[in-house]
Amino acid sequence: MGLLEATREALQLLFAGDPELWGIVAVSLSVTLRAMLIATPLGIAAGYLLATLAFPGRRVLIVVTQGLLASPTVVVGLILYLLLSRHGIFGELRLLFTQTAMVIGQVLIALPVLVAFSLAAIQSADPRARETAIALGASGPRIGWTILFEVRFAVMAAVCNAFGRVVSEIGCSLMIGGNIAGFTRNIPTAIALETSKGEFAQGIALGIVLLLVALAVNFAFAFFQGEARR
């Protein structure tokens, strides 16, 4: 089957409103949004603290965070599997092969990206922003908020980057989600499955949706951060 033919069939599937296909999209969105809701505040806060606080071991922590950017998602999945399996330390929670487990995995994958990039963003902030805020009588959290607002474009880039990594991530989702139809089957694991079965149209349809979702989310972010200063 050629690429064109597969794409045409894919578009037909999409517009026919195939419930299974859209169910897969819903799983992807739901898991990734939840993961980003948890990871974003944590990651940005950690990046802010790393950028502004001086404490022993800070440099080591920064290097480790940047190193974790390269962690293969399937290794994150493997470690989580061993922890969440009924055999594992957290087996009692019975989280393996649930969406919650996938959320945890995606949080862990998103965090290094968020921390490393927001750290870099905050470090590159104009130091006068901080001084001005202090001069205007701001304290603690208010200073942080001012600086983050100042570098919000770079921080948003970090969020977009993390979103892109987790929404397209397959290794971890497959390992701890189990690719269960209608429950933990998300877009990337479904694409892998359909491709393995030779259902290329279904794979391409899901690929198109994934790209559209990523585009839509980035438009939403663009709206959220507002226009660049005029």
Partner 1 sequence: MDAFLLRCRFSAAILLLCLSLFAQDVTACVLRLATTTSTDNSGLLRVLLPQFERQHGCRVQVIAVGTGKALRLAENGDADAVLVHDREAERAFVDNGHGVNRRDVMYNDFILVGPLSDPAAVRGERDVLRALQKIAASGARFVSRGDDSGTDRMERSLWQQLAIKARGAPWHVSAGLGMGEVLTMAGEMQAYALSDRATYAATRARTGLEIVLEGDRRLFNPYGVIAVNPQKYPEVNFSAAMALIGWLTSDAGKAAIRAFRPGGEQLFFVTTDR
Q: Under the rule (CB under 8 A), what is the footprint of partner 1?
A: 1, 26, 29-30, 33-34, 37, 85-87, 91, 94, 96-97, 99, 149, 152, 178-181, 183, 195-198, 220, 223-224, 226
Residues 6+ apart with CB under 8 A from 2: none
Measured distance CA(196)–CA(191) in Å, rounded: 8
Measured distance CA(159)–CA(44) in Å, rounded: 9
Residues 6+ apart with CB under 8 A from 93: 84
Any idea which residue has 């491709």 for tokens? 195
| Reduced 3-state DSSP string for 123-160 | HCCCHHHHHHHHHCCCCHHHHHHHHHHHCHHHHHHHHH
Q: Report the residue number, 115 or 185, with the smaller CB distance to partner 1.
A: 185
Measured distance CA(147)–CA(126) in Å, rounded: 8
Q: Report the residue number, 140 or 198, with the smaller CB distance to partner 1.
A: 198
Min separation Cβ 123 and partner 1, Å: 22
Any idea which residue has 């990206």 for tokens? 113
CB 205 within 8 A of CB 11: yes
Min separation Cβ 30 and partner 1, Å: 4
What are the tokens at 47? 């990046």
Min separation Cβ 29 and partner 1, Å: 7
Min separation Cβ 145 and partner 1, Å: 9
Q: Of 19, 17, 21, nearest to 199 (Cα)?
A: 21
Q: Report the residue number, 30 or 66, with the smaller CB distance to partner 1.
A: 30
Q: Report the residue number, 181 or 215, with the smaller CB distance to partner 1.
A: 181
3-state secondary structure of 198: coil
Min separation Cβ 69 and partner 1, Å: 26
Q: Report the residue number, 22 or 63, with the smaller CB distance to partner 1.
A: 22
Query: DSSP assignment, residue 125?
Result: S
Min separation Cβ 205 and partner 1, Å: 17
Q: Report the residue number, 63 or 183, with the smaller CB distance to partner 1.
A: 183
Min separation Cβ 130 and partner 1, Å: 16
What are the tokens at 196? 């393995």
Q: Report the residue number, 23 or 68, with the smaller CB distance to partner 1.
A: 23
